[in-house]
Amino acid sequence: MTISSLAKQLREAMHVVVFTGAGASAESGIPTFRDALTGLWERFNPAQLATPEAFRADPSLCWGWYEWRRQKVGQAQPNGAHLAIAELAKHVPRLTVVTQNVDDLHERAGSQGVIHLHGRLNSPRCIDCGHSYQLQESLEDLPEEGSRIEPPRCRACDGYVRPGIVWFGEMLPEDAWRAGLEAAEECDVFLSIGTSGIVYPAAELPLRALGHGATVVHINTVRFDVSSQEHFLQGPASARMKSLLQEAFGDIPAL
């Protein structure tokens, strides 16, 4: 599918879903999950850092890694893709943003009502009672990468506070997953940006959209196999989204 033909469909669409993965934030300098396991963290594998069992076995190790990730997110800025997605909402009757990312770059770019399938780094909770916890805003004084950090304690039950993200072996948040499915089934155009579609159950969303008659377009720097009914635009998300908005809606603010 060409940019011009997709632009025409965007102009005619009543409901657009934008589904983002790690590639959408990579241009902001945020390491992907696999990229983060380099440098001082390379001696660990994801199973040592991203399961409830791993957290209970070594809370300070896991909390230190996630606080390092949160520091990276806090230092990053929304890129052109995030800004273009927020701008798109001004030009279509309805836009739903669904993300696998645990950062807040969509919100900081101006997107509203973002559905976070894998949770958020800034929304930790108690591992025992589930009570939410308010994190400190400043991360300037955090130890360097690779450091252990003792997690806070829950004010309700004194259990350890854990990162508010979905770990291996855990279910997606029920409300977020239901909302994502409903949006996929109702949309006219489904843009999958920066995700390879291999992480389930989230990868079911473009298939669900396709099954309900939507135009499904994948935007990624690396080409991968898609069905004959789906479309692929190869290139950086920021460049592709800027071009798409300009083609569809003419002059837009600088992104």
Burial class (CB in 10 A: 0-12, 13-18, 19+), 2: exposed
Helix (H, G, I), strand (E, B) or coil at 233: strand
Q: What is the pLDDT of residue 212?
A: 97
Give 47's DSSP letter.
Answer: G
Same domain for 143 and 245, yes or no, is no
Distance (Å, whole) CA 17 – CA 166 = 22
* Per-residue pLDDT tens digits for 87-100: 999 999 999 999 99
Same domain, 19 and 46: no
Name the band, by pLDDT with cuts 50, 70 and 90, for residue 152. very high
* CATH number of residue 194's parent domain: 3.40.50.1220
Q: What is the mean pLDDT of residues 16-44?
A: 77
Q: What is the tally of structural domains in the chain?
A: 2
List, as one string, the DSSP characters of 176-221.
HHHHHHHHHHH-SEEEEES--S-STTTTHHHHHHHHTT-EEEEEES
Q: In this predicted structure, what is the pLDDT of residue 127?
A: 96
Q: Based on the residue annotation, tell me whether 116 is a catalytic residue of this protein.
A: no
Report yes or no: 97 and 78 within 8 Å, Cβ to Cβ.
no
Q: Above 70 in pLDDT, residue 34?
A: no
Residue where a domain terminates, one of 134, 162, 190: 162
What is this structure's pTM? 0.92
Pick from 103, 133, 162: which residue ends a domain?
A: 162
Q: Do residue 136 and residue 239 come from a single domain?
A: no
Q: What is the mean pLDDT of residues 99-126?
A: 96
Of the residues 118, 131, 212, 218, which is catalytic? 118
Listed residues 162, 183, 215: the one ending a domain = 162
pLDDT 10s digits, 197-255: 777 898 899 999 999 999 999 999 988 888 889 899 999 999 999 999 999 998 777 66
Q: Is 103 inside any structural domain?
A: yes
Same domain, 12 and 111: yes
CA 193-166-215 angle, to 5 degrees, is 25
- Same domain, residue pair 86 and 198: yes
| Residue % of the chain over a pLDDT of 70 | 89
Let me know whether 23 and 83 are in one domain: yes
Closest C-alpha among 196, 205, 250 to residue 10: 250
Task: Name residue 24's amino acid.
Answer: A
Residues 41 and 69: beta-carbon distance below 8 Å? no
Asked whether residue 191 falls in the same domain as residue 82, the answer is yes
Q: Name the 3-class secondary structure at 153.
A: strand
What is the arithmetic mean of pLDDT over 18-40? 78
Report, as an integer, the average pLDDT of 8-29. Answer: 95
Domain that holds residue 182: 1-29+78-120+172-255
Rounded Cα–Cα distance for residues 221 and 232 (Å): 10
Mark whether 88 and 192 lie in a shared domain. Answer: yes
Whether 83 and 68 map to the same domain: the answer is: no
Same domain, 36 and 105: no
- 125 — pLDDT class (breaks 50, 70, 90): very high
- pLDDT, tens digit (0-9, with 9 covering 90-100), for 68-93: 888 888 889 999 999 999 999 999 99
Percent of the chain topping pLDDT 90: 68
Q: How many CB atoms lie within 10 A of CB 160?
A: 20
Exposure pattern of 168-201 as b/e (b: 16+ CB <10 Å)?
eeeebbeebbebbbebbeebbbbbbbbbebeeee
Let me know whether 134 and 24 are in one domain: no
Domain co-membership, 5 together with 42: no
Residue range 44-51: mean pLDDT, rounded? 75
